[in-house]
Amino acid sequence: MKWLLPLALLAVSHPAAPPSAAPEAPLDQAALRRHIEYLASDSLQGRAPGSEGGVKAAYYIASELAGAGLAPGAPDGSWYQPVDLVERTPMTATAEWRVKGHAIALDPSLGRFIAMEGGTRLVAAPVVFAGYGTTTGGADLKGKVVLLLSGKPSEGVQGFEVRRRAIAAQGAAAVIALSGENDPWALIHDQLGRGRTVASGETHAPVEGALAFPAWIRLVDPELVVAAKSLEFSPHLLPVTLDLSATSHVRRYSSVNVIARIAGHGRAGEAVLFLAHWDHLGLCRPEGAADRICNGAVDNASGIAALIEVARRIEHGPPLQRSLYFVATTGEEMGLLGARALVRSPPLPLEHIAAALNFDTIAISPAGEPVATIGRGMTPLDPLIDAAIRSQGRLIDDSEAANAFLGRQDGWALMEAGVPAVMIGGAFSDSARLGAFLAGDYHSPIDDIAHLPPLDGAAEDGALHVVLGRMLADPGLFPLRAK
C-alpha cells in the first residue's frame, strides 16, 4: 500500500489535541444496551443475511439512524445498498484420485467439494500443485484441478481468496484448498458442509473445495511442498488425475448495507466513514440442540450500537466541514462481502474518503484500558489517533500486536482499496482478554445478552470515536491523500 502524503508532514501538521477540545463524555450505556438487547434477541434469530431476522435488523438500524436525525446515504439516495449474494451448499460428491493411472483410496471425509452451478462432472482431469499460487509462471491451468495451499507463506502476499480468483480466472476446472497439518479439519469440514455464501458475479472455478492434510500429502511429493515456500514457485503438473461428480444446492438472494449521512458544511464532497457489520451466524446449531441461535451480542450488536450512538452524538453536535457516512454492513461473517460491495459502489469516490473507522466486537473490555489500533503503523492516521486519545486522558498502546486481526474485519476491504482504515479501542489492548473471548463465547450461542459484559468500556471507546470523527472531518487537521 502506498501512502503519498509524507508521514513526517502529518506528524507536524497534527496538534497534540483538537483545538479547544474538552474530554467527550462516554456514550449512554443504557442506549447501547437497548440496541444490543433488540439486535441480539432470539426474535432476530442471529441476524443471518437473507433471513427475516436480517431484514428486521437492517430496518431497525435505518430507523434508529433516521430518528437520530441522519439522512439516507446510499448511492441511489435511499437507506439501503443492495448486496446480491449466492449461497452454495454441498449435497453429494464422489471423487476418485489416480496416481500414475492407479486408483488411490482416500477417506471421503477428508475432502469437501462444492459445485458452483448445481452439478459438475470431471473425468480424468489433470491435477496441478500450485503451491501458494503467488505466480503461475506461464503454466496452462485451463481444465485442470489446481491444488492451492491455504495460508500465506510470508507477509505482503495477497490473501487466499485473491489468489483463488486469479487461478479460477485462468479457466481451472477446480480449485482445491489444501489445509495445513495443524488446521482444525473437523471445523473446516463442518463449515463447508453448511454451505458458503459469496458475492454474486464473483469469479469461481466450476468446482471448489478443500482437502485435509492426511489426504493431499499422499498426492503431492513432500519436496514440492518444501519448494513451494519460495514466492517464485510455479505450478507443477502432478502424475495425478481426478474423476469427480458433485452436486450442490444453490440459493441466490439479496441483502443490504444500511447507509446514513450527516452532510458536511463547506466540504460536503469529502467524507469520514464509520462502519460496523450487522450480520451474525443465524441458527448455528443443528435441530434439537438446546440453544440453536448464535445471537451475536458482542459480535457485533455492540459495534452497531456504538455506530448508532456515535452518529447521534455527532449529529447533535457542532456542524462539521466534511460529511460523515455511517454504514452498517452485511455479510462480514461470510468474508467482508458487504464491505467489498461498498468498495465497488461507494456513496462518493473512494479518493474523497479521508478515513474509515470500524466498530467490531468492542464490548469486551472495561473502561480505563489503553487504546490499541488495528492498523497501527499502516496508515497516516496514527498521529491524529494519538492526539484524540490524549484529549480523552487515556493511555496509548503503541504496539502493533493488534495488527494480527487486520484482515479479519471490514476495514481491511477499504484498506485494500487505498482508504486509510483502522479499528481502535480498549478491547484490542489486552490480548489475553481478547483471546479468551475468541476461544470461548465467540461465534457460539453463549454470545448473548445474558452473557454481555459491562458496557463502560464500549461507552468510553465510543466517545473517543466522536472526538476522532470530528478531528478527521476537519481538512486542516487531516488533508485528503494526494492523488
**240-254 residue pLDDT tens:** 999 999 999 999 999
Query: Residue 162 sits in a domain of what CATH number?
Result: 3.50.30.30
Domain check: are 136 and 269 in the same one?
Answer: no
Question: Which one of 193, 220, 251 terminates a domain?
Answer: 251
CB–CB of 264/322 below 8 Å?
yes
pLDDT, mean of residues 117-133 = 96
pLDDT, mean over the chain = 92
Classify residue 178 by its DSSP letter: E
More confident residue, 158 or 323: 323
| pLDDT (0 to 100) of residue 2 | 29
pLDDT for the residue numbered 213: 97
Cβ burial, residue 184 (10 Å; 0-12/13-18/19+): exposed
Q: Give residue 166's domain range.
A: 87-251
Do 161 and 308 lie in one domain? The reply is: no
117 and 76 in a common domain: no
Predicted local confidence at residue 194, as pLDDT: 84
* Global confidence as pTM: 0.87
Percentage of residues in the chain with pLDDT exceeding 90? 84
- Residue 17 predicted with pLDDT over 50: no
- The answer to whether residues 381 and 281 belong to one domain is yes
At residue 8, the pLDDT reads 31
In this predicted structure, the answer to whether residue 9 has a pLDDT above a threshold of 90 is no
Among residues 227, 251, 275, the one where a domain terminates is 251
Domain count, the chain: 2
Using CA atoms in the order 429, 433, 437, 439, what is the torsion angle rounded to 10 degrees? 110
How confident is residue 21, by pLDDT bands cut at 50, 70 and 90? low
Last residue of a domain, one of 251, 268, 293: 251
| Residues 158 and 271 grouped into a single domain | no
pLDDT band at 62 (very low <50, low <70, confident <90, very high): very high
Same domain, 202 and 333: no
DSSP 8-state class, residue 379:
S
Whether the pLDDT of residue 19 is over 90: the answer is no
Give a yes or no: residue 478 inside a domain. no
Q: What is the CATH number of the domain that holds 358?
A: 3.40.630.10
Q: Is residue 392 part of a domain?
A: yes
Same-domain pairing of 244 and 275: no
| Cα–Cα dist 189/197, whole Å | 15
Please, which pLDDT band fits residue 196 given cuts at 50, 70 and 90? confident
Instruction: Tell whether 374 is covered by a domain.
Output: yes
Residue reference for cell 482416500: 106
β-pairing verdict for 236-262 and 119-129: antiparallel
Q: Residue 151 pLDDT more than 50?
A: yes
Residue 29's Cβ-count burial label (10 Å; 0-12, 13-18, 19+) is middle
